[in-house]
Amino acid sequence: MTADPRTAIEALVHRETRAWDTQEVELLLSLIHPDMVWPWPPGPLDHDPAGWVFVLGRFDRERWRRLWQDLFDTHILVHNHRVIRHIAATEEGDGGFAVVDVDTLWRHRETGTEQHWHGRACKIYTTVAGEWKLIAHTGLLEYPPAPRG
C-alpha cells in the first residue's frame, strides 16, 4: 500500500480516467470494491439525495462488465476531461475521497445521439487487504461557482 493515501487516491483517479480513455473494461472493474454502490441524481442540479436512484445497483462484476462493454461497442468517445479538485484522506490513512470534475462525451456509432457526462463527482475510496478500491461514487452534479473574495 502506498504510504501517502492522497497519492494513492490520485493514482486511482488517473487509472480510472485511463480506463475510460482506452475503454478497458477489466481496468475499470479492477478499481471497484465488491460492496460498491453508485447513487445517481436524475439531473445535474438535483442536489437533494432524496430523489437519487441506483442505475447500476450494487457492484456485480459480470453485469457491470456487460453494461460497460455495450457502451464501448455502441459509442465513440469524443472526449474525456477530468480534473481533480480536492483529495482528502482519513487520519488513519485507510479511506478518503476525491472531488473530480468530469466532462465526458460519448456519441452513438449509429444514431449520432450524444451522451454527455458533465459535473462534479465525489469518489470515495477505502482500503481492503492493503489495496485501495472505489467503494462509492456520487453521480455528477453541477455547482454554482465559488464566491470570489
74-92 tens-digit pLDDT: 999 999 999 999 999 999 9
pLDDT in tens, 23-58: 999 999 999 999 998 888 999 999 999 999 988 888
Residue among 88, 91, 75, 76 nearest 123 (CA): 88
Q: What is the pLDDT of residue 95?
A: 96
* Ranges 42-46, 65-69, 103-107: which has the least confidence: 42-46
- Nearest-5° Cα angle at 15, 142 to 119: 5
User: How far lies 33's CA from each of 83, 84, 96, 124, 128, in Å?
Assistant: 22, 21, 14, 10, 8
User: How far lies 2's CA from each of 48, 62, 128, in Å?
Assistant: 35, 29, 13
- What's phi and psi for 3, nearest 5 deg? -65, -40
Q: What is the pLDDT of residue 39?
A: 87
pLDDT of 1 > 50? The answer is no
111: its cell numbers: 444514431
pTM for the structure as a whole: 0.91
144: its cell numbers: 454554482
H/E stretch holding 6 reads helix 5-22
Decide which of 3.10.450.50, 3.10.105.10, 3.40.640.10, 3.20.20.450 is the CATH code for 5-137.
Answer: 3.10.450.50
pLDDT of 2 > 60? The answer is no
Domain boundaries in the chain? Answer: 5-137
